[in-house]
Amino acid sequence: MSEQNNALKNTIFITLPSSMDRNIGSFHVDSAIKIPLQLPEGKTQLDNSDEISIELIIAGMLKIIAFDWEHEHAKYYRDFVLAVQPDAPQELNIAAIAQEQKGNLDFAEELFLSVAHLAPQSASYINLATLYSKKAAQDTAKGEVYDLYQQKAINTLTEGLELLGDDAPILSEIGFFHLYQGSVELAKEYLDRYLSIAEEDEKKHHVQHIIDDINHKLNDDQKLMEAYDAIQMNDEQKALVLLEAYLKDNNEVWNAWFLKGWALRRLSRFKDAENALVQALAYTKGSSDIYNELALCSLETGKAELAKMYLNTAVDLDNENITLISNLAYLHLKDEELDEARRFLELARNLDPKDPVIIQLMQDYQNKTGESLADPVVEEYVSNEEVVEQTSEEHPFSIAGKEDTDDLEADFSVEDSH
């Protein structure tokens, strides 16, 4: 049974009597259109029309909206739901987030799908794509399930972009998706589009930094781009072959040496990596990325103090890079150099107090010293109990305009959906 058929297996269609034609605000109830109804739990058919309720009708419509958006009357059902309960998208979104937090990803998917079709906006598609990425991550072997849900994630974002046009949040999500997958050229294309329309804020500054970094490392050279892509896809050997060929004719291009050092370090060839990175330094004034890679090599070869020196230089060159600062804080904390650890933790906390690595390092510092750096960082979530007060699986939301809908619960004729 297909996913769609399985989702709709307990949905039947009923026909309204012509006396039910009426207006609910600007929406017209058309008795000529059959409407879906979700059968009560444990039932395969209705015993009598007294069992019909607006809640079951809305639940049936939401099933069609979520899983059969190509249905000829799907948009009519959407308008019906919004006429009866204008706040449905917001309440369903709250419920979806709660179900996701509880780990009920299948039910959360259904709710997010409904929200995306009821009120299409960038957040709707991003929430759904993020859920698919979480489902993909459950396949730790990165097999067929991983591929299926990663494809669903990018398809969802692409659908949102096609519907909404150039939307900054969706463009950035697609860009980061491709960057994570190792498709740097595609990532750059979408992130450049994002930068062209995004408002000035911290996120735009962050994306600009990434694009600058990519451009800086690759120098817009196709061979270097291919090598960079190969490293991102964990194919360091292919990257080294490309880089060796490139360096024969371009021996003084610093970022070629940097990429070689990076690939060698990932292959645990730390001494060779150090030599390549030092060569990169010979052809540039300095780069925080080079010093960070040198620090990693030094750590792996037992030279902790040299690693700290390299990281200090990296931070001097890029004093807003929270990764570099947190790495340095970790090294000082590990070596019981608590004053230095605190200094870098304070710097990192000022950049992003909610960074999970920083929160953990602050806790480690407190455990070692008994001294608290700051009040605990608290994130607010809607509790499941709060959601239950507004929504449940059987009765997802209250009915607005009840005086307009009471008559819909009487005098139905029922017809199976076959």
pLDDT in tens, 8-34: 888 889 888 888 888 888 999 898 999
pLDDT at 5: 61
Residue whose C-alpha is closest to residue 132's, from 119, 148, 114: 148
Q: What is the structure's pLDDT at 377? A: 35
Cα–Cα distance for residue pair 373/365, rounded to 1 Å? 8
Query: Exposed (0-12), middle (13-18) or buried (19+): which is 233, by Cβ within 10 Å?
Result: middle
Q: How far apart are CA 284 and CA 298, in angstroms?
A: 21
Rounded average pLDDT over 42-65: 82
Q: Range with the lowest mean pLDDT among 129-138, 176-185, 211-220?
A: 211-220
79 touches 88 (CB < 8 A): no
- pLDDT above 70 (res 286): yes
d(C-alpha 225, C-alpha 374), whole Å: 43
pLDDT digits over 379-415, tens only? 333 433 343 344 444 333 333 444 444 455 544 444 4
Residue 250 has pLDDT above 90, yes or no: no
Sign of CA dihedral 89, 95, 100, 103: negative
pLDDT, averaged across the chain: 84
Say if residue 191's pLDDT is above 90.
Answer: yes
For 343-375, how does the pLDDT look when each residue is reduced to its tens digit (9 = 90+)?
A: 999 998 888 887 888 888 998 999 888 887 654
Q: How far is CA 253 from CA 231, 256, 270, 281, 360, in A?
A: 18, 6, 21, 10, 39
pLDDT band at 47 (very low <50, low <70, confident <90, very high): low
Specify the residue for token string 């990257």: 239
pLDDT at residue 42 greater than cutoff 90: no
Task: For residues 58-87, give the mean pLDDT.
Answer: 92
pLDDT digits (tens, 9 = 90+) for 76-111: 999 999 998 899 999 999 999 999 889 899 999 999
Distance CA 254, CA 348 (A): 29
Q: Which two tokens stand for residue 232?
A: 């991102």
Q: Round to whole Å and give the CA distance between 329 and 323.
A: 10
Q: 110: closest CA among 76, 63, 54, 154?
A: 63
Write down the residue that tokens 């069992």 correspond to. 51
Q: How many CB atoms lie within 10 A of CB 321?
A: 18
Q: Output the six-digit token pair for 56.
A: 């079951």
User: 15: burial class by Cβ within 10 Å (0-12, 13-18, 19+)?
Assistant: middle
Which pLDDT belongs to residue 218?
A: 64
- The pLDDT score that the predictor gives to residue 328 is 92
303-356 pLDDT tens trace? 999 999 999 999 999 888 888 999 999 999 999 999 999 999 999 888 888 788
**Residue 20: which of 28, 8, 12 has the closest Cα?**
28
